[in-house]
Structure 1
């Protein structure tokens, strides 16, 4: 087997020892790569140029149960077995699935270097379904989960609005009850909603009462061909295949039974959901950085300038080294995170890793920016061209804002991370303090 181009693969796939990966993980990685290469990655650049992933690809992934791996771990074993899903690609039993399996899947789905094609398939399942699984009533789950888990219907997560992005508490879309209390009437707009244009349903954040976070709730809102719903695709700089959508809601009437969990708990549900989204973005962005940097590395071994190949120029090696150090450090941090997720209960992880996950996601965007920019500069004019040898660098660089803004904008997340660390520190300090009036140490 030929040696991989430096920086092209994580260390565990280069024959180096790792404490994280079991034989189950390694079997899964091989099967996952084979399936994703055959059905997605080999066509990713073609589809990104055409700005659409053909509908049959979603069906292929759904039939193979290859949308399910985008969910949070552990998987909803009882639901899946009830629906006849006992394993993924015949190599991992659903009850054995953990966060490292999920991380491998996210890494492989981004291995083309483009996030859009993979996101066009998985974003709805990854972020729209978990709130239903965690907080939905049994009746609500019975109505929606069978079709969603099997990919017979599509959903999305609809939170962001024209005036409320990272400031989730500023959401203005309203859901007012009818006089008989049986329906919500929803009015407002949602913007930059990934997968929205194809989705039958959405897990939507709405305002059911007064201002601020306490007034927010989550509701399942039908989209495609539903009265009062209007949707159009948005043209964004990168991820052209992911179906970024603008949604307008005018007197959209949905049953109150479509409420997920309890009224007024939407902010808590959203924040819990964000941790999975941010870690998934961190994993995918790190793989994109890997693809960009390794492509530049390979190019520098071949391209001649000033009488010698670029790799013989000290300034080129210096640039690759700086970006490579950032890349491998980020990957080591991501691996540490997903390992910790296999050892902590969800409630513990939300508290202990919530702020750090925000930081890891923000840092992944910074690393991707550095590696993509490095690749563009080393490809030179080719890196500035949308076709040809440097197309991979040019397209990955277009995706950088999609890593640094969605899921919480970078500056907001860095601030959130420190505030969460301070909160946890003060809480633990208070627990350790001696009770007033007590002589106990």
Structure 2
């Protein structure tokens, strides 16, 4: 007998509400993802408690072709066909995969109630491979993509430094050319690099020129078993299983052929890459918020205080209502936003939606803060405990800073959003003024 879902426990379309966004392909993909993640991620909570995932988990995802959906849509169909990958689980043709499929994948993966185990598997692939795919030369792609796309090798994205987080233009890690011109010599440090511990390579932002954004480039830098590279785990508040890493680079030799795209274009590549990252964060964080508030809802139905269920207390219903409104409003925006991506070219989306992506991500942080803190309060002492009934909401509460800071801290995201909206408004105003032709002929009778 199927169970009636707890309110707010699923997005409206999975609660039986009509939706214009999801095709039969999307509905089948959702069932496929749920079945696979229920199996692959069944012990996610325990892994997060332990602070690590099994070594075999990445290869399990790779063998099932479940790393591929982390890439932004459209997928690199030609490369996948070349590698013999024509369908994803459930028989989904790689040509058919769109941004709604990405939405479903990220949402289902976060149902475990923790971003750590999923992040341990997906983050490097999701954000480290796209710069090579989108901006790398054909020869660079041929050297790295076959092993990366099939999961034989791992990669991470390495942007952040001790003194340069959201301020990407302040990156200090240098890459100077060797005397023979065959190598870049890389020196510096990278901090808070998810998946770094296990990565063979990093798509890394480095300074090849002078100060400021114009001096930045991107390189594929070898990490594991590389002379001059030292990596150690950073213990963080949430996502403990994701392999957050501190990387020291001391005269690391990197072939000049490992340059991604053009020298001096690193800032642009990093900024464009952030769009996919911020949308992915928004989706996963929304689901985490959903897990928290629906767990609290269920708890309030059965927990009694002062002689009656908590749900009979008006203040409890008021708290749940406010969180539910914030959660579902954010989800509706995510759906509409993602649908827009299926109808726009990548160039259009970057131009029109880049700032809104930042705003969407900032709002995700505000939603999870509200939902997680409310859930902890409603669970009371149980919500303060790392085991027992409130374990999941206590864990989600520790994820809040990890939602509001990585991928661009909240205050920076709010500023980025408005600056791009102003820029687009001014550009369109100028285009409109230029398009208006002056009246022809004489005004004299």
Q: In structure 2, what is the Cα distance between the partners aligned to 1:158 and 1:361?
A: 20
Could you say which residue in structure 1 is the equivalent of 2:372? 372
Q: In structure 1, what is the Cα distance between the partners aligned to 2:434 and 2:57?
A: 61
Cα deviation for residue 184 of structure 1 reads 0.2
Q: In structure 2, what is the Cα distance between the partners aligned to 1:223 and 1:382?
A: 42
Contact 1:185 1:253 (C-alpha < 8 Å) held by counterparts: yes
Could you say which residue in structure 1 is the equivalent of 2:140? 140
Partner SS state of residue 152, structure 2: coil
Partner SS state of residue 90, structure 1: helix
Cα deviation for residue 109 of structure 1 reads 0.7
Could you say which residue in structure 2 is the equivalent of 1:49? 49
Could you say which residue in structure 1 is the equivalent of 2:15? 14
Q: In structure 2, what is the Cα distance between the partners aligned to 1:109 and 1:207?
A: 35
Contact 1:31 1:91 (C-alpha < 8 Å) held by counterparts: no
Q: In structure 1, what is the Cα distance between the partners aligned to 2:252 and 2:8?
A: 50
Contact 1:125 1:155 (C-alpha < 8 Å) held by counterparts: yes
Partner SS state of residue 292, structure 2: helix
1:147-167 Cα offsets, whole Å, 9 max, x none, are 000001100000000000000
Could you say which residue in structure 2 is the equivalent of 1:284? 284
Could you say which residue in structure 1 is the equivalent of 2:443? none
Partner SS state of residue 210, structure 1: coil
Partner SS state of residue 386, structure 1: coil
Contact 1:123 1:156 (C-alpha < 8 Å) held by counterparts: yes
CA-atom RMSD in angstroms: 1.0
Q: In structure 2, what is the Cα distance between the partners aligned to 1:170 and 1:146?
A: 33
1:222-276 Cα offsets, whole Å, 9 max, x none, are 0011000000000000000000000000000010000000000000000100000
Partner SS state of residue 418, structure 1: helix
Could you say which residue in structure 1 is the equivalent of 2:320? 320
Could you say which residue in structure 1 is the equivalent of 2:80? 80
Cα deviation for residue 181 of structure 1 reads 1.1
Alignment of 1:4-403 (within 5 A): 4-40=5-41, 42-403=42-403
Q: 5+ residue gaps in structure 2?
A: 441-445
Q: In structure 2, what is the Cα distance between the partners aligned to 1:178 and 1:27?
A: 53
1:383-407 Cα offsets, whole Å, 9 max, x none, are 0111111001100000111110000
Contact 2:29 2:90 (C-alpha < 8 Å) held by counterparts: no
Contact 2:28 2:90 (C-alpha < 8 Å) held by counterparts: no
Q: 5+ residue gaps in structure 1?
A: none
Contact 1:27 1:91 (C-alpha < 8 Å) held by counterparts: no
Partner SS state of residue 336, structure 2: helix
Cα deviation for residue 436 of structure 1 reads 9.6
Contact 1:228 1:249 (C-alpha < 8 Å) held by counterparts: yes
TM score, norm. by length of structure 2: 0.98
Residues 436 and 310 of structure 1: is their aligned pair in 2 closer, same or farther, counting only changes over 3 Å? Answer: closer
Cα deviation for residue 439 of structure 1 reads 2.6
TM score, norm. by length of structure 1: 0.99
Contact 1:73 1:102 (C-alpha < 8 Å) held by counterparts: yes
1:173-223 Cα offsets, whole Å, 9 max, x none, are 000001121100000000000000000000000000000000000000000
Partner SS state of residue 164, structure 2: coil
Q: In structure 2, what is the Cα distance between the partners aligned to 1:379 and 1:437?
A: 65
Contact 1:175 1:186 (C-alpha < 8 Å) held by counterparts: yes
Cα deviation for residue 434 of structure 1 reads 4.7
Contact 2:204 2:221 (C-alpha < 8 Å) held by counterparts: yes
Q: In structure 1, what is the Cα distance between the partners aligned to 2:434 and 2:52?
A: 62
